[in-house]
Amino acid sequence: MGRYFVQRVIAFLPTLLGVSILVFLAIRLVPGDQITAQLGTEAGMLTANQRAALEEYYGLDKPLLEQYFSWLGNAVQGNLGFSIRHGQPVTQLILDRFPVTVELAILSVFIALMIGLPIGIMSAIRHNTFIDLFGRIFSMLGLAVPNFLLGTLIIYVLSVYFGILPNSGNYTAFTQDPLLNLQQLIFPASAMGFSFASSVMRMTRSSMLEVLGEDYVRTARAKGLRERAVVLRHALRNALIPVVTLIGVEIGGLLGGAFITESIFSLPGIGRLAVNAISQREYALVQGVTLFIALNFVIINLAVDLIYAAIDPRISYDR
C-alpha cells in the first residue's frame, strides 16, 4: 500500500504541473494586464517611465517563461503571491476561506448520503414497486431542480412564511459558536445535498440491481442467510464501488467551491473568493485558488483509490 501511495503521488505531479501551466497561460490571454486591472482607467494616465517601473515591480518586464518559473518556484514553497485588493497573501486568504467550504461540503455529502443511500437500496430491493417509483421520481426532481433555484426558494420560504432570515453576510465560524454556525450552513448544505442525493440514489439503485443478480448473492440466500445480511454484507459492500467514485468526484467539486450557493447565502468560501478574484482580475489570487482546487482533486482521487481496497477485499495494491 505504501509503495502504491508513493507511485500515485509521483504520477500526480505532472497533472499539477500541467494545471499550473494552463492557469498561468489562460490568465495572461485575457486582454489587459495586472496594472490595468489594479488601476482601472487611471492606468491610461501613467507615463512610460511609471508603467515601466510598475512592470518591473510586478515582474511583467521579464519573459513569459521566466515569469512562470518564478511563480512556480514560489508556489512550491507555499508562496502563491499577494492580493492587492485584499491586502493579504494569497495563501492566507485561501486558508481562511477553506474551512467554510470544507464544512459546507461535509454537510452536503452527509445529507446526500443519509437520503440517497437508503432510497437507492430500497428502490433496488423493491424493484418495480411503489417505493421504486417514488425513488425514481425523487431522483428526477433532484436532477431537474438546479441548486441556485432551490437555494433561492429556501430563502424565500423561510423569510416570507416563517420570518427566518438565513445567513446574510454575518457568517459565524464553528469555533466561535457551533450551534449558530450549523444553523447558517444547514440550508445551503440542504440545497446542495438534495441534488447530490438524487445522483447517489440513481447510482446506488443501478449498482445494487446489478449486484443482486450475481451468483454469490444467490448462493448467500441459498445458504439460509437473512435478507438483511445478504443485502448489507454481500450486496451493498460490492455495490458501493461506483458510489464511492461518485462521492469522490462530488467532494472534489465541492471543495473547489460551490460559488453559486456560497454567493446566494453570502458564505465566505473558496468558490465565492474565486469568482470575485476573476471579476476583479486578481491574477495571483486566480492562479493560487485554481492550483489549490486542482490539488484538492488530486488528494481526493488518491483517497478514493485507497478506499476501494478497504471496501472490496478483491482489490489489492500490493503488487
Q: Indicate which CATH number applies to the domain containing 233.
A: 1.10.3720.10
Could you tell me if residue 283 is inside a domain? yes
Please identify, among 68, 88, 108, the residue that sits at the C-terminal boundary of a domain: 88
pLDDT at residue 36, as a whole number? 67
What cell was used for 76? 512550491
Cα separation, 300 vs 278, whole angstroms: 25
Number of domains in the chain: 2
> Which of 91-100, 154-163, 175-184, 310-319 is modeled with the greatest confidence?
91-100
pLDDT at 132 over 80: yes
Q: Are both 17 and 113 inside the same structural domain?
A: no
Could you tell me if residue 122 is inside a domain? yes
298-308: pLDDT as tens digits: 888 778 777 77
Please identify, among 30, 63, 88, the residue that sits at the C-terminal boundary of a domain: 88
Chain centroid, CA 163 distance in Å: 31
pLDDT at residue 319, as a whole number? 55
Q: Are both 153 and 61 inside the same structural domain?
A: no
203-243: pLDDT as tens digits: 888 888 888 877 777 787 787 778 777 787 777 777 888 88
Number of C-alpha atoms within 13 angstroms, CB side, residue 18? Answer: 6
Q: Are both 138 and 204 inside the same structural domain?
A: yes
Please identify, among 88, 122, 150, the residue that sits at the C-terminal boundary of a domain: 88
Q: Are both 255 and 291 inside the same structural domain?
A: yes
Q: Which whole number is the average pLDDT over 66-86?
A: 83
Q: Are both 170 and 203 inside the same structural domain?
A: yes
Cα separation, 19 vs 289, whole angstroms: 12
Cell 518556484 belongs to which residue? 73
pLDDT at residue 39, as a whole number? 65
In sequence order, the 6+-apart residues with CB closer than 8 A to the CB of 311 are: 237, 240, 241, 244
Q: Which whole number is the average pLDDT over 43-67?
A: 75
pLDDT at residue 314, as a whole number? 61
Could you tell me if residue 316 is inside a domain? no
Could you tell me if residue 317 is inside a domain? no
Could you tell me if residue 6 is inside a domain? yes
Cα separation, 276 vs 273, whole angstroms: 5
Q: pLDDT class for 312, splitting at 50, 70, 90? A: low
Q: Are both 78 and 105 inside the same structural domain?
A: no
Q: Are both 256 and 144 inside the same structural domain?
A: yes
pLDDT at residue 167, as a whole number? 56
Q: Are both 64 and 143 inside the same structural domain?
A: no
Q: Are both 159 and 127 inside the same structural domain?
A: yes
Residue 181: domain span: 92-311
DSSP states of 172-234:
--TTT-HHHHHHHHHHHHHHHHHHHHHHHHHHHHHHHHHHHTSHHHHHHHHTT--HHHIIIII
pLDDT at residue 295, as a whole number? 84
Q: Are both 218 and 288 inside the same structural domain?
A: yes
Could you tell me if residue 230 is inside a domain? yes
Q: Are both 288 and 185 inside the same structural domain?
A: yes
Q: pLDDT class for 166, splitting at 50, 70, 90? A: low
Give phi and psi for 82, each to the nearest 5. Answer: -130, 135
Q: Are both 300 and 181 inside the same structural domain?
A: yes
Could you tell me if residue 319 is inside a domain? no
